[in-house]
Amino acid sequence: MTLAPITLALDTATPFLTLALRWPGGELERVQEVGRASAEFLAGETQALFDAAGLPLRADRIVIGTGPGSYTGVRVGASYALGLCRVWDAELLGVSTLEALVQQEGAQGVSLDARKGNVYGAVYEVADGAVQCTLRAPCRLPLTDFEDLLAGKPHHADPVPSGIALLRAGERHGVRNWQLAYL
């Protein structure tokens, strides 16, 4: 008999420390605004998540938000995830941080401020709380151009991320050959 894997999702690319955990008995998430202090909170909040689930600190799979985000923020999360994967001999999958920003079912645009009137945005089709299909791949462009390409679809600009959306996207289509993206 094979047990369902325990999956940890984490993202430090935005001002929010975003964590989620799924195990055969359920799922939990922790999202906390930490600004640029992800490194200070990441280990303790990860332990607190496992404690809240009543699980030992160990996962079979880790899903990492690969950015776009601040250079330091993206690297903090990636380094931590890589370290845990080596210690736990866990699978590591990457998905765009933008996938953690989806807010509802259906087609929608999500974006992060990329300064000087630009956004880093993508357009997704969402079902069951996670990205099912990428309608427009993540890219950097002027905000007005991004809003034009949405053609009336909802736009979620700089929303609070969802650890559960990140976890579900990673489980559905996370990639092993991921690359980090910076704002």
Categorize the per-residue pLDDT at 3 as very low, low, confident or very high, splitting at 50, 70 and 90.
Answer: low
Average pLDDT over residues 104-129: 95
Give per-residue pLDDT as tens, 17-71: 999 999 999 999 999 999 999 999 999 999 999 999 999 999 999 999 999 998 9
The residues near 127 (Cβ < 8 Å, ≥ 6 apart) are: 105
- Residue 68: is the preceding peptide bond cis (ω within 30°)? yes
Work out the mean pLDDT of the chain and round it to a whole number. Answer: 95
pLDDT computed for residue 1 by the predictor: 41
The pTM of the full predicted model, rounded to 2 decimals, is 0.93
Give per-residue pLDDT as tens, 78-107: 999 999 999 999 999 999 999 999 999 999
